[in-house]
Amino acid sequence: MSLESDMEVLSEVPLFRELSRDQLRLLAFGAEHRSLRAGEILFRAEARADAGFVVASGEVHLVEGEGEGRRISMTVGRGTLLGEMALMADTRRPSSAVTATDCDFIRISRPLFRRMLQEYPDIAVVMHQRIRDDFLAMASRILALEDIFDYDDEDDTPGEPRGEADD
């Protein structure tokens, strides 16, 4: 992939949408490429995470569990950033990522991302606001689900869904 095509893909990532052309160029220039065939593992659940991966082409299954309990929780494609938290902090992968099709990835290391934040402190402010807004939206969606379940006050275990009559 060319530097220009990498910049185009990176600009599709919500976390990077506010970056200028120069900032995208620096990020694209410092990033690495990885190509995998369908069925290959990009990373495993619980593995240490030191980088984020932007899907440049193809589709990736996010997989939870092992063996019989294994299930695909989500399928993502171009412009998706996998491992956003790994860009900011030492963390572990919450799920495994397995390619559903042949894929190309742009790997952004934590040191590269930190360098971006140091060279462009204004990016940190914009990204902090975006992450905050995403977190608040997620919390709101979770709270909206609260009324679906009636919790037993003694042990906080879900009881019968609210609104259903007892027999």
Strand, coil or helix: 54 = strand
Strand, coil or helix: 100 = coil
For residue 157, tell me if it sits in a domain.
no
Q: Residue 51 pLDDT > 80, yes or no?
A: yes
Query: In the chain, pLDDT over 90 holds for what percent of residues?
Result: 54
Q: In whole angstroms, what is the distance from residue 39 CA to residue 72 CA?
A: 13
- What CATH number did the domain enclosing 28 receive? 2.60.120.10
Output the CA angle 42-63-143, nearest 5 degrees.
125
Closest CA to 29 of 109, 122, 86, 123: 109
Q: Which domain holds residue 103?
A: 3-149
For residue 165, tell me if it sits in a domain.
no
Cα–chain-centroid distance for residue 106? 13
Reported pTM: 0.78
Closest CA to 116 of 13, 5, 1, 2: 13
For residue 163, tell me if it sits in a domain.
no
Mean pLDDT, range 80-88, rounded to an integer: 92
Mean pLDDT, range 77-97, rounded to an integer: 93
Strand, coil or helix: 165 = coil
Q: What is the mean pLDDT of the chain?
A: 87
Q: How many domains does the chain have?
A: 1
